[in-house]
Amino acid sequence: MNMKPSRRERTTKEGFVYQTDGLLKKIGDIVEHGEFYFSNKKKADRKDLAAFLYKINFLTARKETPTGIERRYFEENRYLSSQFVDFGFEWEIHPAYRWALQLTQIEDYLPDLTADN
């Protein structure tokens, strides 16, 4: 949920697409609240987390071309995130996850599970 667009990102329509440096800054802001560790007890840095988000398809690589937007997914191009090197792609939050990040109060959108139906 910390990948939710900030107020500034929402007003400038930049909330779901990041240049590499912007993505790493966003992740860095999240890491300031607490460290992340992988299951093997390895501490994750910003680039490790960005690579992980790409591997689980939370992020997709994208590039605007004259014919439209070219998207790359981890399954297609694993080399894009081997060491999280910038190959000229931007990073986009996958549309399947955006709806959850846009919610302000999730309780307003979930059915009342205690109500008699």
Which tens digits make up the pLDDT trace of 48-106? 999 899 888 899 888 888 999 888 888 776 655 455 656 788 999 888 887 777 765 55
The CA–CA distances, whole Å, from 59 to 35, 41, 51, 74, 113 equal 20, 23, 9, 9, 31
**Full-model pTM:** 0.74
SS3 65: strand
**C-beta of residue 40 within 8 angstroms of C-beta of residue 70:** no
Q: What is the pLDDT of residue 7?
A: 73
Instruction: Parse the chain into domains and list their residue ranges.
Output: 16-106
**What is the structure's pLDDT at 101?**
75
10 band by pLDDT with thresholds 50, 70 and 90? low
Total residue count of the chain as it appears in this document: 117
Q: What per-residue confidence (pLDDT) applies to 96?
A: 82
Q: What is the four-CA torsion angle of 54, 57, 63, 65, rounded to 10 degrees? A: 160
Identify whether the C-beta of residue 90 lies closer than 8 Å to the C-beta of residue 18: yes
